[in-house]
């Protein structure tokens, strides 16, 4: 009976190409389709996309130094009391005296357009390069997040279908454990066994019941985690059509391990640190700029404004400015040193990350190969223990063995089942990492 129920659960994976969602149900046929949906709808990934868009806008803003700045202005001034300027009396026909004179008009209006342009602003140029690198950095950060997202999705996906297969088995085990418990109780009433056998049969039943509840809990937790990762609403039902064979030992899995996308983040951070270093060094470089003012002035003794052509006087000029920092209290020098140390630190972090990634990849492939062998062995043992349990049941019913021997075979079967499910989960966890890198 046990063997028959177990073999019913050992079905081959069903693969398809359909993923669709209705108002209340999300249906997925395989892991690749779920990847596509998760990458499109994951809430955190949407933030990464927005950050990349923001970086692109910031880059356009940083490039504004390439264009001139143009501004218009208007100002009106009421000289409440004109300033006194002493002048020699000879200028007004009063030799030997000093005359206090007032110059100007009571009301002055100025209007015009100011134009300025920096030709050699090295810091602004490097800031623009840093903004461009920020776009690339956000893009590789998104790729690194996608890699981690796919790994988590795969792990919870396989946890769901393994838990679902385990539920089928545990429910079959529960029927067997219950029938075995009732059989032992009946034998006790007939005086053919003792209370220890009843206790052991009850313990086995409770163990199977615990496993069944834990499997349901694992399935529910994994489904909820998948909903969170894929952006599926809480009220939606998730249906995973693929099933897993408990005889699956991973020998058909791809072992192609692609590049670790997280290393790309370090490469762009190093580039950004190099640009920051150049920004600090550019503080020693001169800045050259030019400006122009095209304006008009109007002077009046009475309050008002005239728009007649002769009422306004032209006021125009051009300017050229050159600035060169000579001494800044060693601030620039220390900033350069700090930037250089930051670059070296980032290089060291990159080397450490490369070394760690290579070690992790090597260990992953070794673990995957070992878990394949372990899972193959535990699958074989699981089947053998199931066969033995069925044979011991027949022997017991024929009176060839005692109840204790039969109960022991059932306990061994439950242990083999638990061991194989754990090995299968470990194998698929390894495969989830490999799958995320393909």
pLDDT confidence of residue 283: 87
In a domain, 76, yes or no: no
The DSSP secondary-structure symbol of 13 reads P
Task: Report the CATH number at residue 246.
Answer: 1.20.1600.10
How much is the pLDDT for 368?
Answer: 94
CA 396 to chain centre: 58
Q: What whole-number distance in Å separates Cα of residue 272 and Cα of residue 141?
A: 14
- 365 is a domain residue: yes
Q: Would you write out the chain's pLDDT as a tens digit for each of its 438 residues? A: 333 333 333 333 333 334 444 457 899 999 999 999 999 999 999 999 999 999 999 999 999 988 999 999 999 988 888 888 888 887 777 887 888 887 888 899 999 999 999 888 888 999 999 999 999 999 999 999 999 999 999 999 999 999 999 999 999 999 999 999 998 999 888 888 889 999 999 999 999 999 999 999 999 999 999 999 999 988 889 999 998 877 766 567 888 899 999 999 999 999 999 999 999 998 888 889 999 999 999 988 888 888 887 888 889 999 999 888 888 778 888 999 999 999 999 999 999 999 999 999 999 999 999 999 999 999 999 999 999 999 999 998 888 988 889 999 999 999 999 999 999 999 999 999 999 998
For residue 310, the model assigns a pLDDT of: 83
Is the residue at 251 inside a domain? yes
pLDDT of residue 251: 62
Domain-located, residue 312: no
**SS3 of 250, please?**
coil
- Pick from 379, 245, 304, 271: nearest CA to 105: 304
User: Residue-wise over 219-248: b if at least 16 C-beta within 10 A, else e?
Assistant: beebbebbbebbebeeeeebebbbebebbb
| Helices 31-41, 43-62: crossing angle, 10 deg rounding | 50
Residue 320 lies in a domain: no
Any bridge partners for residue 101, and if so which? 85
User: Does some domain include residue 303?
Assistant: no
The pTM (predicted TM-score) of the whole model is: 0.82
Query: What was the pLDDT predicted at 361?
Result: 95
Is 299 exposed, middle or buried, given 0-12, 13-18 or 19+ CB atoms closer than 10 A? Answer: middle
Residue 227 counted as domain residue: yes
Query: Domain residues for 258?
Result: 2-68+120-287+328-436
Is 378 within a domain?
Answer: yes
Count of domains forming the chain: 1
Nearest-angstrom CA–CA distance, 402 and 142: 63
In this structure, is the dihedral angle defined by the CA atoms of residues 170, 172, 178 and 179, taken in order, positive or negative?
negative
Contact 19, 33 (CB under 8 A): yes
Note whether 9 and 166 are within 8 A (CB).
no
């Amino acid at each position: 009976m046990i063997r028959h129920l177990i073999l019913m659960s050992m079905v081959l994976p069903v693969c398809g190409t359909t993923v669709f969602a209705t108002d209340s149900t999300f249906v997925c046929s395989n892991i690749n389709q779920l990847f596509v949906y998760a990458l499109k709808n994951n809430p955190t990934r949407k933030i990464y996309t927005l950050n990349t868009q923001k970086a692109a806008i910031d880059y356009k803003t940083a490039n504004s130094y390439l264009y001139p700045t143009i501004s218009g202005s208007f100002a009106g001034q009421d000289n409440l009391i004109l300033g006194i300027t002493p002048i020699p009396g000879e200028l007004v026909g009063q030799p030997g005296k000093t005359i206090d004179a007032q110059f100007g008009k009571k009301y002055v209006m100025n209007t015009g357009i100011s134009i300025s342009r920096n030709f050699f602003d090295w810091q602004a140029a490097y800031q623009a390069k840093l903004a461009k690198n920020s776009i690339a950095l956000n893009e590789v950060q998104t790729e690194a997040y996608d890699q981690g997202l796919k790994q988590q999705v795969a792990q919870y996906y396989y946890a769901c279908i393994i838990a679902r297969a385990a539920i089928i088995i545990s429910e079959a085990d529960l029927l067997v454990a219950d029938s075995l418990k009732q059989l032992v109780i009946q034998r006790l009433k007939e005086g053919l066994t003792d209370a220890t056998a009843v206790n052991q049969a009850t313990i086995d039943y409770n163990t199977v019941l615990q496993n069944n509840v834990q499997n349901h809990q694992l399935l529910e937790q994994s489904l909820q985690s998948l909903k969170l990762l894929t952006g599926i609403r809480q009220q939606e039902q998730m249906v995973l059509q693929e099933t897993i064979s408990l005889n699956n030992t991973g020998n058909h899995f791809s072992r192609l391990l692609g590049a670790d996308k997280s290393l790309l983040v370090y490469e762009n951070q190093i580039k950004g640190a190099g640009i920051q270093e150049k920004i600090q060094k550019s503080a020693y470089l001169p800045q050259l700029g030019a400006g122009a003012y095209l304006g008009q002035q109007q002077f009046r003794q009475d309050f008002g404004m005239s728009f007649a052509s002769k009422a306004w006087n032209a006021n125009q000029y051009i300017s050229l400015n050159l600035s060169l920092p000579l001494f800044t209290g060693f601030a620039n020098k220390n900033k350069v040193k700090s930037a250089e140390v930051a670059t070296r630190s980032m290089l060291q972090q990159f080397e450490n990350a490369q070394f760690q990634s290579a070690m992790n990849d090597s260990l992953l492939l070794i673990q995957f190969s070992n878990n394949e062998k372990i899972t193959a062995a535990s699958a074989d043992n699981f089947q053998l223990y199931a066969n033995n349990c069925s044979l011991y049941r027949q022997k017991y019913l024929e009176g060839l063995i005692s109840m204790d021997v039969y109960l022991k075979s059932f306990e061994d079967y439950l242990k083999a089942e638990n061991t194989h499910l754990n090995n299968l989960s470990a194998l698929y966890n390894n495969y989830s990492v490999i799958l995320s890198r393909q």
